[in-house]
């Protein structure tokens, strides 16, 4: 029986494991967490971190799978490329290119070399380089770790911070950087989008452009996504062109890509590009609800060299709105109307209960639930999501015993 080594067993990986099994392959699954939700589906499971490329290689040398894949997480893309190269398996992305798809410093260098529009940037290896870089910007700049995700450690800062404030910021961001590199970047203004692409023999096919709703400054946590983009068609054409240039520059031969861009006054520029599916339910739910395309399944078909189908069969709107609350302890949850009973609501989850602590929203992990909707248009899908969440009230005890009643959603609107 042919086998596929799958890196990652978390909830977002479950559809990939299921698809591999449906196609009749043995599913060899690796994850550092033996309690991950996909473990039960595995034909064989090994408790190995998916970013420990040498341990994964050792296991692959022993088991000799026919393919090695991952689905939604970032750093395992690098591990899969490394092992595929060492074992001479099907190669959709070289190891060298996989570094450019997962390390923001290497990514920016590659995009710059290829003439893809990006913001000015500096890759800083110590505090002196960090302060020098910040001085080069006129007032504000973005700082972020070179190789993390979920907006951890990403912040807009004022260049006129004191030395000790800069030190505090440097340590905060460096703490999230695995390779120790901290990026300092020009702050791009304008709406933000992501582009979901399916690449076949080096040719990128744009499946969807997703509009984003992001928290107020100085942190950048995504609070909502909607499709199709409501930006004007000529702007969307510019977005497609820049996303395609970026995919070609990174050298993704076959597979998927999630490209994030800001539409600046000087045109679309790349925030980052990934050689994996978009998370945050974008490819798992929003793309199928708006286009009918199942990128999750079809990306596995493509990786295993099976026939795939990325033809759009729907022309609908879809949206997700995340739930947040201020820092504190949840005192009471009142759901006046179950969002799932509202027409157009496809999914609703609230992941806190009374007594749970809620953190300030500094990273995606601080969001406490979501609602997903489908309607005729993106605008309608957003309206339904926001209406559904207006029935969810979370009473947070946030100030030494004083309560605060929060009606959702408390977010800045960019595309509503
Ligand atoms: N140079 C920039 N200019 C303006 N905004 C930026 C810039 N870099 C990052 N951002 C904002 O910060 C967010 C997170 O940055 P980035 O995507 O680089 O980090 P991440 O940790 O990979 O995030 P995620 O995993 O949530 O996509 C972006 O979606 C964008 O809103
Ligand atoms: Mg990002």
Q: Which ligand approaches the C-alpha of residue 119 most closely?
A: 1
What integer pLDDT is reported at residue 108 of this predicted model? 98
414, pLDDT greater than 50: no
Residue bearing the CA closest to ligand 1, atom 13: 220
Ligand 1 centroid to Cα of residue 220, in Å, is 7
| Ligand 1 pocket member 220 (CB < 6 A) | yes
- Would the pLDDT of 408 be above 60? no
pLDDT of residue 402: 44
The per-residue pLDDT for range 153-207, each reduced to its tens digit, is 888 998 888 999 999 999 999 999 999 999 999 999 999 999 999 999 999 999 9
pLDDT, position 325: 83
Least reliable range by pLDDT among 34-38, 137-141, 335-339, 406-410: 406-410
For the CA of 214, the closest atom of ligand 1 is 31
Spell out the residues 6+ positions from residue 119 whose beta carbon is closer than 8 angstroms to its own: 142, 185, 186, 187, 188, 269
Task: Confirm or reject: Cβ of 366 under 6 Å from ligand 1.
Answer: no
Smallest Cα–Cα separation from 249: which of 101, 378, 138?
Answer: 101
Over residues 234-238, the mean pLDDT reads 98
pLDDT tens across 56-97, in order? Answer: 999 999 999 999 999 888 899 999 999 999 999 987 999 999
Is the pLDDT score of 403 beyond 60? no
Average pLDDT, the chain: 92
Do 101 and 107 touch, CB atoms closer than 8 A? yes
Q: What share of the chain is helix, strand, coil (3-state, %, to 5)?
A: 30, 30, 40
b/e map 272-289, b = 16+ CB within 10 Å: bbbbbbbbbbbbbbbbbb
pLDDT for position 409: 38
218: Cβ below 6 Å to ligand 1? no
**Cis omega before residue 228 (within 30°)?**
yes
Q: What is the mean pLDDT of residues 287-293?
A: 98
What lies within 8 Å, CB to CB, of 269 at 6+ separation is 117, 118, 119, 188, 242, 261, 262
In short, whether 219's Cβ falls inside 6 Å of ligand 1 is: no
pLDDT digits 0-9 by tens, 93-140: 999 999 999 999 999 999 999 999 999 999 999 999 999 999 999 889
Question: Going by CA atoms, what residue is nearest to atom 29 of ligand 1?
Answer: 220
Q: Is the minimum distance from the CB of 187 to ligand 1 under 6 angstroms?
A: yes
The distance between the two most distant Cα atoms of the chain, rounded to a whole number of Å, is: 63
Q: Is 151 in the pocket of ligand 1 (CB under 6 A)?
A: yes
Instruction: Report how far ligand 1's centroid is from the alpha carbon of 59 (Å).
Output: 34
pLDDT band at 399 (very low <50, low <70, confident <90, very high): low
Ligand nearest to the CA of 173: 1
193 and 231 in contact (C-beta within 8 Å)? yes
364 or 173, which is more confident?
A: 173
Q: Which long-range contacts (CB under 8 A, 24 or more apart) does 230-234 make?
A: 230/378, 230/379, 230/415, 231/191, 231/193, 231/263
Better pLDDT: 51 or 399: 51
Total Cβ atoms within 10 A of residue 178? 12
Q: Report pLDDT for 72.
A: 87
- Alpha-carbon distance of 211 to 226, in angstroms, equals 5
- Joined tokens for residue 37: 């939700």
> Residue 322: is its pLDDT beyond 90?
yes
- Sign of the dihedral defined by the CA atoms of residues 361, 367, 368, 373, in that order: positive
**232: pLDDT strictly greater than 60:** yes
Peptide bond into 204 cis (omega under 30): no
Domain architecture of the chain: domains with CATH? 3-91 (3.40.50.20), 120-186 (3.30.1490.20), 192-315 (3.30.470.20), 318-407 (3.30.470.20)
CA-CA-CA-CA torsion sign (231, 385, 277, 66) = negative
Ligand nearest to the CA of 142: 1
**Taking 60 as the threshold, does the pLDDT of residue 416 lie above it?**
no
User: What's the CA-to-centroid distance between 149 and ligand 2, angstroms?
Assistant: 7
Question: Mean per-residue pLDDT for 232-240?
Answer: 98
């Amino acid at each position: 029986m042919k086998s596929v080594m799958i890196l990652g067993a978390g909830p977002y990986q479950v559809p990939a494991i299921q698809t591999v099994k449906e196609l009749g392959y043995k599913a060899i699954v690796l994850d550092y967490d033996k309690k991950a939700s996909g473990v039960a589906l595995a034909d064989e499971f090994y408790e190995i971190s998916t970013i420990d490329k040498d341990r994964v290689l050792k296991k692959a040398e022993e088991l000799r799978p026919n393919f090695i894949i991952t689905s939604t997480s970032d750093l395992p893309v690098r591990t899969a490329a490394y092992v595929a190269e060492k074992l001479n398996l099907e190669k959709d992305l070289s190891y060298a290119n996989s570094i450019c798809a997962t390390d923001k410093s290497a990514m920016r260098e590659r995009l710059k070399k290829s003439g893809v529009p990006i913001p000015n940037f500096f890759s800083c290896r110590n505090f002196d380089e960090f302060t020098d870089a910040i001085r080069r910007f006129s007032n504000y700049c973005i700082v972020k770790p070179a190789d993390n995700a979920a907006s951890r450690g990403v912040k807009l800062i004022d260049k006129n911070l004191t030395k000790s404030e800069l030190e505090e910021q440097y340590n905060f961001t460096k703490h999230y950087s695995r390779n120790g590199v901290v990026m300092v970047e020009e702050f791009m203004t304008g709406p933000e989008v992501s582009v979901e692409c399916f690449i076949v023999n080096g040719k990128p096919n744009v499946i969807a452009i997703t509009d984003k709703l992001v928290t107020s400054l100085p942190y950048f946590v995504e609070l909502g996504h909607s499709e199709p983009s409501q930006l004007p068609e000529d702007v969307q054409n510019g977005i497609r062109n820049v996303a395609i240039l970026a995919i070609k520059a990174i050298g993704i031969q076959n597979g998927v890509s999630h490209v994030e861009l800001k539409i600046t006054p000087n045109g679309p520029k790349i925030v980052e590009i990934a050689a994996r599916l978009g998370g945050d339910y974008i490819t798992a739910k929003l793309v199928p609800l708006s286009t009918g395309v199942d990128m999750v399944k079809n990306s596995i078909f493509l990786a295993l060299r099976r026939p795939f189908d990325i033809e759009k069969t729907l022309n609908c709107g879809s949206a997700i709105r995340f739930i947040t609350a201020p820092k504190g302890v949840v005192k009471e949850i009142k759901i006046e109307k179950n969002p799932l009973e509202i027409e157009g609501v496809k999914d609703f989850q609230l992941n806190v209960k009374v007594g749970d602590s809620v953190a300030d929203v500094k990273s995606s992990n601080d969001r406490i639930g979501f609602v997903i909707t489908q309607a005729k248009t993106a605008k309608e899908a957003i309206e339904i999501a926001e209406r559904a969440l207006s029935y969810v009230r979370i009473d947070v005890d946030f100030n030494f015993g004083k309560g605060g009643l929060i009606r959702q959603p408390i977010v800045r609107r960019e595309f509503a």
